[in-house]
A and B are shown apart, each in its own frame.
Chain A
Amino acid sequence: MLTEQLLSIGLNHFLTISAILFGLGMFAVMTRKNAIVILMGVELILNAANINFLTFSKYNGSMDGVMFSLFVIVLAAAEAAVALAIVINIFKTFKTVDVSRVDTMKE
């Protein structure tokens, strides 16, 4: 029974991978100090969301998830470009990309 479940690749396999990727991305966003690693975590989260979209799209037989994941990829590209421009500006201003040291507005 268990080996049969492990061998027939289905919905739950992909959902498991996406849950793990999402958790790892959240971990990077929560604990890392370097702004670029935080961006990498965001990319992992977006990829996890994309896997979910495509999984449900395949097993539902509709094209909605496929189209949505295309738009997610496009918006991820835009997000990465803008975020890196911001990071470069932070580096110019503070001479560091450590987000815990960027605290001028805190005072």
Chain B
Amino acid sequence: MNQLTIAIIFYIFAAVTVLSAAFVVFSKNIIYSAFSLLFTFFGVAALYVFLSADFIAVTQVVVYVGGILVLLLFGVMFTNTIMQTELKADVLHVVPGVLLTLALIGGLLFAFYNASAAGSWMPGMMQLQGSVVERIGFETMSRYMLPFEMVSIVLLVALLGAAFLARYDKAHKKEH
């Protein structure tokens, strides 16, 4: 593939990501926000493929779209009865929020572009190429062994705690 094709595909996915993220934030209807988040996650996964992190892209689709998004949708359905028209979500402090957000994005972009223009960081000689699946396997079983095990315990404990918290009310009532 030549450079132009790659650039066009990149810009399409970048536009999908940014526009759907903006829709998530600015939409008044929470259901629309949740479904728009789907496109954001897919767009971000596509950007991960551009960064030659194919395994992370697949993980992103499986975990975010298959897990977190379903959980969020479940929360939306659970805490808002569909029949009532109170699916709208109000906002507060819009003007300071917009100003702070613009300042934040501007500051970040200024820092990034300044640093790259001044040559503070530049692409290294050895960039990641192709697939990283094999290298992730080696790293997980060698240098990142301990964090890998720790994160598995954290996930187990957090999920057990979440299950307990979500049905705490029922157990509490039985005691009395």
Residues 49-94 of A at the B interface (beta carbon under 8 Å): 50-51, 54-55, 57-61, 63, 66-67, 69-71, 73-82, 84-89, 91-92
Whole-angstrom CA separation of A13 from B10 in the bound complex: 9
B107 (CB) vs chain A CBs: closest residue: A19
The one of A19, A34, A89 in contact with B165, judged by C-beta atoms closer than 8 angstroms, is A89
- Chain A contacts for B72, CB-based, 8 A: 36, 39-40, 43, 80, 84
Asked if B147 contacts A71 (CB within 8 A), the reply is yes
Count, chain B residues at interface, CB 8 A: 86
The one of A61, A63, A70, A79 in contact with B59, judged by C-beta atoms closer than 8 angstroms, is A70
Task: Tell me, yes or no, whether B118 is within 8 Å of chain A by CB.
Answer: no
Task: Tell me, yes or no, whether A1 is within 8 Å of chain B by CB.
Answer: no
Asked if A24 contacts B24 (CB within 8 A), the reply is yes
Asked if A20 contacts B105 (CB within 8 A), the reply is yes
- Chain A contacts for B60, CB-based, 8 A: 50, 73
Asked if A23 contacts B121 (CB within 8 A), the reply is no
The one of B22, B75, B158 in contact with A78, judged by C-beta atoms closer than 8 angstroms, is B158
B157 (CB) vs chain A CBs: closest residue: A78
Asked if B68 contacts A43 (CB within 8 A), the reply is yes
Asked if A8 contacts B56 (CB within 8 A), the reply is no
Q: B37: shortest Cβ distance to chain A, in Å? A: 6
Asked if B37 contacts A40 (CB within 8 A), the reply is yes
Asked if B168 contacts A89 (CB within 8 A), the reply is yes
Asked if A61 contacts B124 (CB within 8 A), the reply is yes
Q: B140: shortest Cβ distance to chain A, in Å? A: 7
Given A20-B18, A73-B59, A88-B78, residue A31 in contact with residue B91 (CB < 8 A)? yes
Given A50-B44, A66-B56, A71-B147, residue A81 in contact with residue B71 (CB < 8 A)? yes
Given A44-B21, A88-B75, A91-B78, residue A67 in contact with residue B140 (CB < 8 A)? yes
Task: Tell me, yes or no, whether B98 is within 8 Å of chain A by CB.
Answer: yes
**Which are the 5 A-B pairs with shortest beta-carbon distances?**
A61-B126, A78-B158, A85-B165, A23-B105, A34-B89
Give 24 pairs: A residue, B residue, CB < 8 Å, sorted on A.
A6-B7, A26-B104, A27-B25, A30-B93, A32-B89, A33-B89, A39-B72, A40-B33, A47-B40, A51-B47, A58-B52, A59-B123, A66-B139, A69-B56, A70-B56, A70-B59, A73-B63, A78-B155, A78-B158, A80-B72, A84-B71, A85-B166, A89-B169, A98-B90
